[in-house]
Structure 1
């Protein structure tokens, strides 16, 4: 496949790199020249060029259309833009995020746990990774500690073969990254919570924000969620495993007393129940994140 990526921004770069990695001929275009990008982005673009992506920066994207049969257009490019019309006139097939997500899904042949939500994603990701590492697993951990653009971090991990040398991937999935991960099969999906943050990115619509977060409902074989999300999920899945702090209505319930975190769990759909205690150093909201990580690890088995 010969493909042109319109826009070398946050959406276009990881798409260009993953398509190139899977054996396609890829051109990436942008009106900006290389030096106009931030230093970190310049480094990524140069890496892509070294890997075989053809750069057409600071030039008219129409010049590259004659060379290709497929195109990916960054979401920031207006729907009525001349370049979109030109692609239509030239009958160039448009690739969407679902297509790219399926490409990533075909590559990732290891078990995956994905964590989304508004608050606590990063902490939950690392607590869960520590649990699996302590159990002897080789873990590919991907969180915002590794970089601000998680889709780019995940693609970089794929290109460098991290999915081949680890037993399990534990991936933080913020709403921006969900575009490229919406069709990736998750063994366990975790939603920490959904609060009205980042609404400026969703036309100040809580409904649109919630919809973006809930991509994980269909992607997850087993879904784990904070009790705060029950109103969003109860009509979508009746097998969600809910966790919370000191609330007997949850499937996984955690209580902290005298430096001991007490976890009681009952997951009828998985036929497991029980109780354990562990020493715990109090760090505020890490209690909830630790309960979330415990619930996901127990659900995994």
Structure 2
């Protein structure tokens, strides 16, 4: 009998899992409660994979030998309750891809903020070192798709806590945990410790020959480590004090001390600016050293890396005002990182769909650095209520055109106009990419 694999959810990870399952000879069926995008439907048809959309056929779903669940489906949904009652084994797409990646080197990166940047930077170092490497996961293509269509020797994976919730045997050679701040708590019964435990699953199958790379300056990480030991080789990074092994900053020099041969460079030579990027750069460099990439290559890559689109992306300078697109900042913590990166006065454009944000975390930085906040959204009251006392100017707008025009009016030569919304974008835009692109168009039109 062939192995019946049911894929729940037909986004990028679901389609990747379907392609890989089919390639491995499984009997694959894809079921999505919503609508499936046309390009994905075409792919399924071309590969002769049957699917349904708009509903789930229970007999089929519950008759599976195994289910691959999309990271977007919460455990509390009726669908998952039925699946768990029926006792059908559930795995994530990450687990499926891992099953068919024996002998490959895997660097997995998780954390509440900075995942995409660190993943892209790590990939950049490996690529520059001439390795056969692919960048997969939450950034770009799903890992399962890559394994099915174009397997590589090294995988650099950006991985979310939702994807870690359904792993069984997944074991990265290097696991990186950048930081843990409250995000997505609705999925973890509003208990921070559940979310923390979920992030730590990245190391749960690791053994002594694997590496666990973590930020020593993160209180949540340190608390958890004190309670629950890790079995892999732990390599910390910090900006607080020198270390014997790991990554640290001392007298404006970045030090990476792993596997002999220390990598030392001036932090001013890093292409990524800001305190949070010191952490991201150290994590990526440590991953490279664990794989014995030469220090010259690491230094060269950390200097030449171009940051990601929509993540602290420089757009243009108009009449002495710098415009920065940080549309990917969809939570308050990301905005804190952005504000912390700049020394010049800031005109901040923020707003969108507020997921119950607590703006108190950025109040001090707003007082210190922000000369005006331009709200952009259908409902700007939460931001106005939370921050109007902390900045001299607060203006409400309901379109990107008006937001950019108002911001430019408020800015003078030497200022920065920063789009760092702290919110989801669905009230006015398709997604954060669409929001970032509209921002760039408006800036170019000034």
Task: Return the TM-score normalized by structure 1.
Answer: 0.76
> Secondary structure of the residue that 1:28 maps to in structure 2?
strand
Equivalent residue number for residue 150 of structure 1: none
Q: In the superposition, relative to structure 1, how do residues 78 and 62 fare at CA in structure 2: closer, same or farther (>3 Å)? A: closer
Structure-2 separation of matches of 1:296 and 1:73: 29
Query: CA shift at 1:45, angstroms?
Result: 3.3
> Does the Cα contact within 8 Å between 2:95 and 2:170 map onto a contact in 1?
yes
Task: Select which of 58, 63, 67 maps to 1:72.
Answer: 67
Give yes or no for the alignment of 1:189 onto 2:175: yes
Give yes or no for the alignment of 1:225 onto 2:211: no
Give yes or no for the alignment of 1:198 onto 2:187: no
Equivalent residue number for residue 273 of structure 2: 283
Task: Select which of 29, 40, 43 maps to 2:39.
Answer: 43
> Does the Cα contact within 8 Å between 1:138 and 1:168 map onto a contact in 2?
yes
Query: CA shift at 1:300, angstroms?
Result: 2.6
> Does the Cα contact within 8 Å between 1:5 and 1:12 map onto a contact in 2?
no
Q: Alpha-carbon deviations, 1:222-245, whole Å to 9, x = none? A: 111011222212431274111011
Structure-2 separation of matches of 1:158 and 1:2: 19
Equivalent residue number for residue 91 of structure 2: 97
Which has the greater radius of gyration? 2
The alignment's C-alpha RMSD in Å is 3.1
Q: Alpha-carbon deviations, 1:158-207, whole Å to 9, x = none? A: 2212x2xx331111111122245552221111100111122122221111
Equivalent residue number for residue 115 of structure 2: 121
Query: CA shift at 1:282, angstroms?
Result: 5.1
Equivalent residue number for residue 140 of structure 1: 134
Query: CA shift at 1:262, angstroms?
Result: 2.7
> Secondary structure of the residue that 1:248 maps to in structure 2?
coil
Query: CA shift at 1:12, angstroms?
Result: 5.4
Give yes or no for the alignment of 1:27 onto 2:29: yes
Give yes or no for the alignment of 1:296 onto 2:284: no
Q: Alpha-carbon deviations, 1:13-55, whole Å to 9, x = none? A: 55444322311112233455xxx34xxx332233123212212
Query: CA shift at 1:65, angstroms?
Result: 6.7
Structure-2 separation of matches of 1:69 and 1:145: 29
Give yes or no for the alignment of 1:243 onto 2:229: no
> Does the Cα contact within 8 Å between 1:196 and 1:206 map onto a contact in 2?
yes
Give yes or no for the alignment of 1:253 onto 2:253: no
Structure-2 separation of matches of 1:123 and 1:108: 24
> Secondary structure of the residue that 1:237 maps to in structure 2?
coil
> Does the Cα contact within 8 Å between 1:225 and 1:242 map onto a contact in 2?
yes
Structure 1: any 5+ residue segments left out of the alignment?
A: 148-152
Equivalent residue number for residue 263 of structure 1: 255
> Secondary structure of the residue that 1:186 maps to in structure 2?
coil
Q: Alpha-carbon deviations, 1:226-276, whole Å to 9, x = none? A: 11222212431274111011422573212473xxx43152x5xx6x36352
Task: Return the TM-score normalized by structure 2.
Answer: 0.53
> Does the Cα contact within 8 Å between 1:254 and 1:291 map onto a contact in 2?
no
- Alignment length (residue pairs): 271
Q: In the superposition, relative to structure 1, how do residues 6 and 25 fare at CA in structure 2: closer, same or farther (>3 Å)? A: closer
Task: Select which of 94, 98, 108 maps to 2:101.
Answer: 108
Q: In the superposition, relative to structure 1, how do residues 26 and 246 fare at CA in structure 2: closer, same or farther (>3 Å)? A: same
Q: In the superposition, relative to structure 1, how do residues 254 and 181 fare at CA in structure 2: closer, same or farther (>3 Å)? A: farther
Structure 2: any 5+ residue segments left out of the alignment?
A: 70-74, 293-446
